[in-house]
Amino acid sequence: MICEICGKNSARRKQVDRSYGKRENLMIIENIPVIKCSACGESYMTAETLHEIERIKLQRQSFAVKRNIPVADFC
Ligand SMILES: [Zn+2]
């Protein structure tokens, strides 16, 4: 593949796992395609991939469950 950064034919597609958010909002997305170039050492995601990640994050929010935590008054 042609690298979008340096233009050399040294880019390869590989799959990575990434985590987003933290604590109860932590989400791990597996097998995200990342372009890695051995000539310039850059690794990047295509606009299409970034768009897809945003879609997955939004979808997950709509499925999120809110939990009620009991609150005690100390008096
Ligand atoms: Zn490159």
Q: Distance, CA 53 to ligand 1 centroid (Å)?
A: 23
What residues have a C-beta under 5 A from ligand 1, the ion? 3, 5-6, 37, 39-40
End-to-end CA distance of the chain: 68
Taking 3-state DSSP, the helix, strand and coil percentages for the chain, each rounded to the nearest 5, stand at: 25, 30, 45
Q: What is the pLDDT of residues 29-65, one digit of tens each?
A: 889 999 999 999 999 999 999 999 998 888 876 665 5
pLDDT value of residue 66: 61
Q: Is the pTM of this model over 0.95?
A: no
Q: Distance, CA 17 to ligand 1 centroid (Å)?
A: 21
pLDDT value of residue 28: 81
Q: Distance, CA 8 to ligand 1 centroid (Å)?
A: 6
Q: Distance, CA 65 to ligand 1 centroid (Å)?
A: 42
Helices (H) and strands (E) counted in the chain, each on its own, are 1, 3
